[in-house]
């Protein structure tokens, strides 16, 4: 006579079927949500949604192109980086530009072109995060230049956040926020 039961109690068999049904339902819901997000993204941008970390290389290439556009005060190159939209923005210590036309005029032509005769923006410690059709990058930079008026040198250091969105043309920059590095020690009271 064997002590091994030949059949499961009815409640364990029903529980197993219920758990399997729940897992299948969850897998179907996740698959549907991913397919729906992919379809919506493709309808809006002509490109599938971006979830893979491999796309960070594309953003890094855009950051290099952005730095080159600053170095050369080149609005044509900038137009390959920025989304041509009145909704893009650029926040910096001296102001806040709205729209690509204002960014071209105030940042590229007036500041980079008129104020400086030479420019060199070096980007380092880049961190890129991609989530769907949006990406953001954080990095530090060093900027050396010469004032056009008298040739005096300028050197500044800072940090920057950039936000990108994918379009039918590829990734495009939609927002920049930069600032210089902190010049005072951190406060002892973190609730400042």
- Assigned domain for 5 exists: no
From residue 51, alpha-carbon distances to 95, 99, 129 in Å are: 34, 28, 10
Asked whether the beta carbons of 126 and 106 are under 8 A apart, the reply is: no
Convert the pLDDT of each residue in 15-29 to its tens digit. 566 656 566 666 555
Asked whether the beta carbons of 181 and 161 are under 8 A apart, the reply is: no
| Residue position matching structure tokens 């002590």 | 3
Q: Are 87 and 39 within one domain?
A: no
DSSP 3-state of 89: strand
Q: What is the pLDDT of residue 50?
A: 47
Q: Are 16 and 60 within one domain?
A: no
Longest dimension (CA), the chain: 104
pLDDT mean over 66-90 = 98
Convert the pLDDT of each residue in 129-188 to its tens digit. 999 899 999 999 999 999 999 999 999 999 999 999 999 999 999 999 999 998 776 666
Contacts of 120 (CB under 8 A, 6+ apart): 71, 143, 144, 145
Q: Are 165 and 100 within one domain?
A: yes
Question: What rounded mean pLDDT belongs to the chain?
Answer: 83
- Domain with 39 in it: 10-47
- The whole-model pTM stands at 0.71
* Domain CATH number, residue 119: 3.10.450.50
- Assigned domain for 79 exists: yes
Q: Are 153 and 113 within one domain?
A: yes
- Assigned domain for 131 exists: yes
């Amino acid at each position: 006579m064997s002590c091994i039961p030949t059949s499961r109690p009815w409640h364990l068999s029903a529980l197993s079927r219920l758990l399997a049904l729940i897992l299948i339902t969850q897998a179907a819901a996740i698959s549907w949500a991913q397919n729906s997000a992919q379809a919506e993204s493709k309808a809006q941008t002509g490109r599938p949604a971006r979830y893979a970390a491999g796309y960070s290389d594309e953003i890094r290439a855009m950051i290099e192109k952005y730095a080159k556009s600053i170095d050369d005060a080149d609005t044509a190159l900038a137009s390959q980086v920025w989304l041509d939209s009145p909704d893009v923005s650029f926040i910096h210590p001296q102001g806040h530009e709205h729209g690509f036309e204002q960014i071209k005029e105030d940042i590229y032509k007036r500041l980079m072109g008129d104020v400086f005769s030479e420019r060199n923006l070096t980007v380092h410690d880049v961190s890129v995060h991609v989530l769907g059709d949006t990406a953001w990058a954080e990095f530090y930079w060093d900027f050396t230049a010469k004032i056009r008026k008298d040739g005096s040198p300028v050197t500044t250091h800072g940090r920057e956040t950039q936000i990108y969105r994918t379009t039918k043309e590829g990734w495009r920059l939609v927002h920049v926020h930069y600032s210089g590095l902190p010049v005072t020690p951190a406060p002892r009271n973190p609730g400042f």
